[in-house]
Amino acid sequence: MSGTSTKLDFRVLDEILEQFEYKKSYLIAMLQKVQEVYRYLPEEAMTYIGEKIDGLSPATVYGVATFYAQFSLEPKGKYEIKVCDGTACHVRGSMPVLNAIRNKLNLKEGQTTCENGLFSLEIVSCLGACGLAPVCVINDKVYPQMTSDAISVILDTLLKEEGVN
Amino acid sequence: MALNIDIKQEQAKAQEHIKEQGLRVLVCAGTGCVANGSLKVIEKFRELGANVSTLTDYDKMTIVPTGCHGFCEQGVLVIIPDKHVTYVKVKESDVEEIFESHVKNNQPVERLLYTDPKTGEHVHKNDDINFYAKQTRTALKNCGKINAESIEEAISVRGYEALAKCIEENNPDGIIDTITKSGLRGRGGGGFPTGMKWKFTAANRGGKSYVVCNGDEGDPGAFMDRSVMEGDPHKLLEGMAIAGFAIGADEAYIYVRAEYPLAIKRLRKAIADAEEKNFLGKNIMGSDFSFTIHIKEGAGAFVCGEETALIASIEGERGMPRPKPPFPANKGLFGRPTLINNVETLANVPLIILNGAEWFASMGCETSKGTKTFALTGEVNNTGLIEVPMGTTLREIIFDIGGGIRGGKKFKAVQIGGPSGGCLTEEHLDISMDYDSLIKAGAMVGSGGLVVMAEDTCMVEVARFFMNFTKNESCGKCVPCREGTKNMLKILEKIVAGKGEMEDLDRLEQLALSVKDGSLCGLGKTAPNPVLSTLKYFKDEYIAHIRDHKCPAGVCTAMKKIVIDPEKCRGCTKCARTCPVGAIEGTVKNPHKIDPAKCIKCEACLNACPFKAISKE
């Protein structure tokens, strides 16, 4: 797996554990913090947390990490694209938008991150902005009433900013 | 108990401060309007308002960023209450005109008023807009009217008055009685009588116990809890503190979906502000009552909306449900008695305390009291968040408040209650929207998501969509749910791909019933509902897919064929240039042709053709 071999700075992890007082009931919050720092959950980090905290094991940490959709075991892209496929977005055409993104970024079905690591794509169920369906979110910015043309323009702008054609 | 604070005096002070703000301009800063650019609108207003010596009647103007007004479709919404006006679809570039013309010279900007789609006339006042006229906003009353990030504004509209009253009167059982008499039932979907739940938990008074607020609004197509958390967070906190006082708990958690970052931010600020005022925290208002509220962010698991799974998740574990009993009222969070209520339920509590059980019970119908918020979305003209008395009919909601179906299309069905709910059709339009009537019709109130579907929505595809959702979200604990949802999905995928057999319909029904019977929690028990209800009301659509290989709504790609009418095609080449896969061939000024082997049926050409020469079969 690419990206997982980077050496981790355990001091960063210690700080996170400290912040949550080494309590196992804060495991989810700790993992959220780790993912915020690394954009994914490195295997060593999960093992480290599992060994350091009373009442946890690396296996339980891995179990929690794989249960929740928010956690990624692979590095996410610099731009995280979320396509909402909640009921309202689905009915108003989120699939054509998704297909347009896949076409533009050369992503096959099931592939989540672009080869250059710039973009990662995720389908989420309902962001609660149903009045603006269909919506996409790119790094926390909500783009309302998307169409396949509109999303292409947005991606073109981002690609241009990054110097990719 | 004696209090060291006079809440009425605080209220008067807060109201005085608000008067000093001069002309208040309310700009919606809910998730929807922010996405439409409301932050820029606010900035522009502030820039212009910085120097307003020229204002008539006012010496000052204050821009108030508010929570969601509910009419997300028309965002960005700008309301100037003193001028009795609501502006819709406001852009940054419109702000100067509103300011110059209306704020300074009292001339309303007609073009930015809401236009009634039926009469074509401009509507000035908020209450005259059809979308709002038929609503009764109580839980959502302050959403969109106050600055959600200011505790002072919350206090000015009677915030924390109910809590002060409860502590002062010091009659916890009396509070539970009032809630019971009001007839309030759980707004998260189950509809369990709230007073009864409080009573069960209160029976364990004496030791450590908890209040938990369920803000894990996971149903796709529902966003009422988000709007309350974003728009009026103090009302929720106050409701929780009252619940804590009534059942004898001193600690609480709000479990919020991580998908709602703005709600989390506003709740955090609200908690800090309330603690500073000593409305939360140790010895509230100088009494013996202490109450601390924590926020727990979810991490994306639908099943965590189930109360025992939610408890497991707060404890830092995989969010898997466990059998009941023991009920959380006896053995919940960290093994202690726990009261779990949904956001909207708790937001109703302060109102009931202030206005009385009779006031609440006077709204709604026989078995379902009060009002209910619904998220109205899909193929309807006015999408947004609404609040109506229980018992309002579907027809009133869709055609009066919702303004009918988009683009003059024909109404087909409404999906209510998300992946756990069912479909209601034309024959149900006059049904009373309350817990019991909906269960009888094979649907449920659920959390209140209403997704309206028109003639061009394929119901088999909708069933597939929901099954895909529940299959992904099944926690895997119970075999019937884990394997059953997977196999039902396989059958549905087969049918929408045009490869279904008539026997599949019986298989689907059998599987649905076994999943319903064999699952532990609500997710599994209700997962087959979309299949069962579409099979009941739209069996002909299933049969058309299987026997005739046709999708009557023209949605399912496997059965769809996109064709160009050579009579109408002028050979403008636009379609060929739009096609993402190069499936269209033809020369300039000659009719073009689509190669069905290459076509991915994305309909890009259909939308691009200026001569309407392309259609789907």
pLDDT tens per residue across span B299-326: 989 999 999 999 999 999 999 999 999 9
pLDDT at B598 over 90: no
**Cβ atoms B211, B254 nearer than 8 A:** no
pLDDT at B432 over 50: yes
Q: Compute the C-alpha angle B31/B34/B39, nearest 5°.
A: 145
Position A5 scores a pLDDT of: 47
Q: Check CB contact under 8 Å for B220 and A29.
A: no
Q: Are residues B428 and B464 in the same domain?
A: no
Domain assignments of chain A as residue spans, ordered by start:
10-67, 79-161
Alpha-carbon gap: B231 to the closest alpha carbon of chain A (Å): 14
Ranking A28-42, A142-156, B13-27, B112-126 by mean pLDDT, the lowest is B112-126
Q: Which residues in B481-616 belong to E strands, given as ranges?
A: 562-564, 584-585, 593-594, 614-616
Position A17 scores a pLDDT of: 96
Contacts of B66 (CB under 8 A, 6+ apart): B26, B27, B28, B29, B30, B143, B144, B145, B146, B147, B148, B231
Q: Which residues in B205-250 belong to E strands, given as ranges?
A: 210-215
* Main-chain dihedrals φ then ψ at residue A99, nearest 5 degrees: -60, -40
pLDDT at B114 over 80: yes
pLDDT at A6 over 80: no
Q: Are residues B188 and B332 in the same domain?
A: yes
* Main-chain dihedrals φ then ψ at residue B414, nearest 5 degrees: -130, 135
pLDDT at B602 over 80: no
pLDDT at B52 over 70: no
Mean confidence (pLDDT) of chain B: 93
pLDDT at A1 over 60: no
Question: Once rounded to an integer, what is the mean pLDDT over residues B100-120?
Answer: 89
Q: Check CB contact under 8 Å for A88 and B221.
A: yes
pLDDT at B266 over 70: yes
DSSP string, A57-95: -HHHHHHHHHHSTT--SSPPPSEEEEEE-SHHHHHTTHH
Asked whether residue B212 is domain-assigned, the answer is: yes
List the single residue in A63, A131, A140 with the smallest CB-CB distance to B383: A131
Q: Are residues B112 and B169 in the same domain?
A: no
- Condensed to tens digits (0 to 9), the pLDDT of residues B188-242 reads 878 999 999 999 999 999 999 999 999 999 888 888 999 999 999 999 999 999 9
pLDDT at B392 over 50: yes
List the single residue in B220, B314, B319 with the smallest CB-CB distance to A86: B220
- Condensed to tens digits (0 to 9), the pLDDT of residues B138-182 reads 999 999 999 999 999 999 999 999 999 999 999 999 999 999 999
Q: Which alpha helices (DSSP H) does B356-412 contain, by range?
A: 357-361, 394-395
Position B411 scores a pLDDT of: 96
Q: Do the bridges between strand A141-143 and strand A119-124 make them parallel or antiparallel, or are there none, so unpaired?
A: unpaired
Range of the domain at B42: 10-128
Asked whether residue B406 is domain-assigned, the answer is: yes
Asked whether residue B525 is domain-assigned, the answer is: yes
Counting runs of H as helices and runs of E as strands, what totals does chain B give? Answer: 25, 19
Q: Which residue of A has its CA nearest to B259?
A: A127
Q: Are residues B113 and B185 in the same domain?
A: no
| CATH number assigned to the domain comprising residue B594 | 3.30.70.20
Q: Are residues B184 and B271 in the same domain?
A: yes
Ranking B166-180, B270-284, B428-442 by mean pLDDT, the lowest is B428-442
List the single residue in B73, B296, B313 with the smallest CB-CB distance to A131: B73
Give, as one character, the DSSP assignment of residue A134: S
Mean confidence (pLDDT) of chain A: 89
Alpha-carbon gap: B37 to the closest alpha carbon of chain A (Å): 10
Alpha-carbon gap: B220 to the closest alpha carbon of chain A (Å): 5
* Rounded CA separation B126/B133 (Å): 8
Q: How many domains does chain B have?
A: 5
Position B350 scores a pLDDT of: 98
Q: Are residues B226 and B353 in the same domain?
A: yes
Q: Are residues B171 and B113 in the same domain?
A: no
**3-class SS at B161?**
helix
Give how far the C-alpha of residue A23 lies from the chain's centroid of Cα atoms, to the nearest Å.
25
pLDDT at A165 over 80: no
Q: What is the pTM (predicted TM-score) of this model?
A: 0.91
Q: Check CB contact under 8 Å for A69 and B379.
A: no
CB count in 10 Å sphere of residue B179: 27
**Cβ atoms B416, B438 nearer than 8 A:** yes
**B314 vs B75, which has greater pLDDT?**
B314
- Condensed to tens digits (0 to 9), the pLDDT of residues B255-264 reads 999 888 899 9
Note the residue count of chain A.
165
List the single residue in A23, A67, A130 with the smallest CB-CB distance to B223: A130
On chain B, the residues whose CB falls within 8 A of the CB of A103 are 580
pLDDT at B607 over 90: no
On chain B, the residues whose CB falls within 8 A of the CB of A50 are none
Alpha-carbon gap: B78 to the closest alpha carbon of chain A (Å): 17
Q: Which residue has the tokens 């659920």?
A: B446
- Condensed to tens digits (0 to 9), the pLDDT of residues A61-72 reads 999 999 999 999
Q: Are residues B190 and B303 in the same domain?
A: yes
Position A3 scores a pLDDT of: 44
Asked whether residue B138 is domain-assigned, the answer is: no
Beta bridge partner(s), residue B342: B214
Asked whether residue B142 is domain-assigned, the answer is: no
Asked whether residue B555 is domain-assigned, the answer is: no
Asked whether residue B140 is domain-assigned, the answer is: no
Question: Once rounded to an integer, what is the mean pLDDT over residues B61-68?
Answer: 92
Position A90 scores a pLDDT of: 86
List the single residue in A68, A130, A148 with the smallest CB-CB distance to B383: A130
Contacts of B556 (CB under 8 A, 6+ apart): B458, B460, B461, B496, B497, B498, B545
Alpha-carbon gap: B317 to the closest alpha carbon of chain A (Å): 6
Which CATH code fits A79-161?
A: 3.40.30.10
On chain B, the residues whose CB falls within 8 A of the CB of A90 are 220, 465
**Cβ atoms B386, B135 nearer than 8 A:** yes
Q: Compute the C-alpha angle B607/B610/B611, nearest 5°.
A: 110
Alpha-carbon gap: A5 to the closest alpha carbon of chain B (Å): 26
Q: Are residues B418 and B537 in the same domain?
A: no
* Rounded CA separation A79/A138 (Å): 6
Q: Check CB contact under 8 Å for A129 and B301.
A: no
Closest of B356, B311, B316, B303 to residue B329, by C-alpha? B311
Question: Once rounded to an integer, what is the mean pLDDT over residues B10-38?
Answer: 92
Question: Once rounded to an integer, what is the mean pLDDT over residues B273-278?
Answer: 98
Q: Are residues B296 and B202 in the same domain?
A: yes
Q: Which residue of A has its CA nearest to B415?
A: A87
Q: Are residues B181 and B255 in the same domain?
A: yes
Question: Once rounded to an integer, what is the mean pLDDT over residues A81-86?
Answer: 91
* Rounded CA separation B556/B568 (Å): 25
| CATH number assigned to the domain comprising residue B512 | 1.20.1440.230
Position B85 scores a pLDDT of: 93
Question: Once rounded to an integer, what is the mean pLDDT over residues B331-339?
Answer: 97
Contacts of B246 (CB under 8 A, 6+ apart): B166, B172, B175, B176, B179, B198, B202
pLDDT at B56 over 70: no
List the single residue in B72, B219, B297 with the smallest CB-CB distance to A131: B72
| CATH number assigned to the domain comprising residue B60 | 3.40.30.10
Q: Check CB contact under 8 Å for A87 and B384.
A: no
Asked whether residue B93 is domain-assigned, the answer is: yes
Q: Are residues B243 and B308 in the same domain?
A: yes
Q: Check CB contact under 8 Å for B299 and A126.
A: no
